[in-house]
Amino acid sequence: MKPAIHIVDDDRLARESLKWLAESAHLSVCEFECGQAFLDHFDDGLPGCVVLDVRMPDINGMELYARLKKLGATIPVIIVTGHADVAMAVRAMKAGAYDFIEKPYNDALMLELLQSAIACDRDERLRKTQVDNVRSRIERLTPREYEVMKYVLHSKQNKVIASELGISIKTVELHRANLMTKMDAASPTELVRLAMIAGLDPGSS
């Protein structure tokens, strides 16, 4: 799916200027004249980034950003601000906004920022897909296979695992083979890498 720049600004000329800039770099654009119109159509599943103007009549940019955060949105948000609003923009960045840029902005700088935000969004969505994929593999493990996996992640030998779990070495070997197949891991090192992607800490007990 092609990423899009979501421009939220009540200033028509400002929207058209930014749209022209984005489209000159072959980027898709969606325009919204107010925060509520944007929220009514927003889908966090769509890739891209959002450009919010701070000063808008219905829902200002800061409030709109707060609402996006409350919705759990992950799309990068760029705050466009006048000089008097810089302190607010800095607070937004501390809260997780991607960046802010002051008006009047340099076109080359804005374009670079848009492309950077889109790349960041693409990488984050890819990472999330990888995490979800690995976690779905872990969920397919039986409780015993998951238990054996934790020992494998600690580089425990089969005989040690068998002793600590009170089962035979052959049973450990069977569980180990099954979990490696389900995890699609060719080696313990690969298993550690997958565990880290899923957010597990191989070094914890």
Residues 99 and 175 occupy one common structural domain? no
CB under 8 Å, gap of 24 or more: what pairs does 78-84 form? 78/49, 78/50, 78/51, 78/52, 78/113, 78/114, 78/117, 79/52, 79/54, 80/9, 80/14, 80/51, 80/52, 80/53, 80/54, 80/105, 81/53, 81/54, 82/54, 82/55
Whole-number pLDDT of residue 204? 60
Residues 86, 167 within the same domain: no
**pLDDT digit of tens for each residue in the chain (205 aa)?**
789 999 999 999 999 999 999 999 999 999 999 999 999 999 988 999 999 998 888 888 889 999 999 998 999 999 988 766 777 777 887 888 999 888 888 999 999 999 999 999 999 999 999 999 999 999 999 999 999 999 999 999 999 999 999 999 999 999 999 999 999 999 999 999 999 999 887 766 5
- Residue 117 domain boundaries: 4-128
What pLDDT score was predicted for residue 92?
80
Kindly state whether residues 175 and 91 are assigned to the same domain: no
Task: Single out the residue of 52, 184, 24, 190 nearest to residue 108, CA to CA.
Answer: 24
Question: Based on the domain organization, do 59 and 151 belong to the same domain?
Answer: no
Domain tally, the chain? 2
Do 109 and 21 fall within a single domain?
Answer: yes
One domain for residues 183 and 162: yes
Whether residue 148 sits in one domain with residue 88: no
Verify that 118 and 189 share a domain, yes or no: no
Instruction: Assess whether 47 and 108 both reside in one domain.
Output: yes
Spatial distance between the Cα atoms of 166 and 157, rounded to a whole number of angstroms: 14
Q: CA 82, CA 122: separation in Å to the nearest integer?
A: 29
> What pLDDT, on a 0 to 100 scale, did the predictor assign at position 90?
78
Asked whether residue 203 is assigned to any structural domain, the reply reads no
Any idea what the CATH number is for the domain that residue 187 is in? 1.10.10.10
